[in-house]
Amino acid sequence: MEQVTDWLIANQDLIINYGIKFVVALAILFVGKIIAKVISKTIKKLLTKKEFDKTVVSFIGSLVYGIFIIITFIVAISHLGFNTSSLVAIVGAAGLAIGLALQGSLSNFASGILLITLKPFKSGDFIDVSGTSGIVEEINIFATKLRTGDNKAVIIPNGRITSSNIINFSAKPMRRIDLVIGVGYSADLAQTKEILTRVASSHELVLKDQAITVGVSELADSSVNFVVRPWVKTSDYWPVYYALLETIKVELDNAGIEIPFPQMSVHVNQENSNES
């Protein structure tokens, strides 16, 4: 017991010094944890105000909190006199290994952040991306879910989306319908143009304040091709598209204007053989 007491007396300055350092290290951990929570909550609030996806907000908040806790821990043990160079190297190597192992997932994650930040499309938009067309149902952190016209769910990794062209059919309030109508070379072009213009302009959903283009676009092999280009609201595109095609066919038939179609002529040669 006397030896312990003597050792304590002899090393009391060292013990007090390390005791103070230990208390300071605990204080650093405590304060660092509070700062990490405050910064994490602040970032979450800012991202929520910017209408970021909840999954992204939660992930980024947790990531920021974890980074600050690691930094706080390194600062605390450094204050105790430990060499943190090797620890930092280990953390860096571990981060690199994890990054390489999750390369595809991290690429999809980064792409998800870009999609949510830049917002090339949103839920409910009709888009064509990576060879698939459909309505956007969900934009998650790693993948985007589309619903096709025949009610199939298609999950596309975000990395594929950002690396390909994105066509957003819902981005603008108006769309132009492009129809190509072919008539025979014997048709009266003036009459045909009048019928096409009347049909397009008389539809109730065609926008009257936008010019309708009707004109000859091509003298094809077996037909004279007209373009019919009215403007409609984006939500009315397909109903008007189908209705115009049907009405144009009926009106051209009523006017006796032929719509050419591919035909094949078969010639049969009969050879008469003389019987002896």
What contacts 170, CB < 8 A, 6 or more positions away?
A: 121, 124, 125, 126, 127, 234
pLDDT at 237: 94
Q: What is the pLDDT along the chain (276 residues), one digit of tens a residue?
A: 666 565 556 556 656 667 777 788 788 888 888 888 888 888 888 878 877 666 567 667 777 888 888 888 878 777 666 666 665 666 666 665 655 554 556 778 788 878 877 888 888 899 999 889 999 988 877 888 999 989 999 999 988 898 889 999 999 999 999 999 999 999 999 999 999 999 999 999 999 999 999 999 999 988 999 999 999 999 999 999 999 999 999 999 999 999 887 665 566 766 655 554
Query: What residue ranges do the domains of the chain occupy?
Result: 12-117, 125-168, 174-255
Q: Report the CATH fold assignment for 12-117.
A: Helix Hairpins (1.10.287)
Which residues, including other chains, have CB under 8 Å from residue 8's CB and lie 6 or more apart?
Answer: 15
136 vs 153: CA distance, rounded Å:
10
Q: Are the CB atoms for 104 and 41 separated by under 8 Å?
A: no
Angle at which helix 103-118 crosses helix 85-101, to 10 degrees, equals 80
Confidence at residue 276, expressed as pLDDT on a 0 to 100 scale:
46
The answer to whether the predicted template modeling score (pTM) of the entire model surpasses 0.75 is no
CATH 3.40.50.10860 is held by the domain 125-168 = no
Distance CA 157, CA 35 (A): 35
| Listed residue (142, 137, 184, 178) closest to 159, CA to CA | 142
Residues 151 and 148: their CA atoms lie apart, in Å, by: 5
The class of domain 174-255 in CATH terms is: alpha beta
Dist CA 43 CA 24 (whole Å): 28
- Does residue 26 contact residue 34 with C-beta atoms inside 8 Å? no
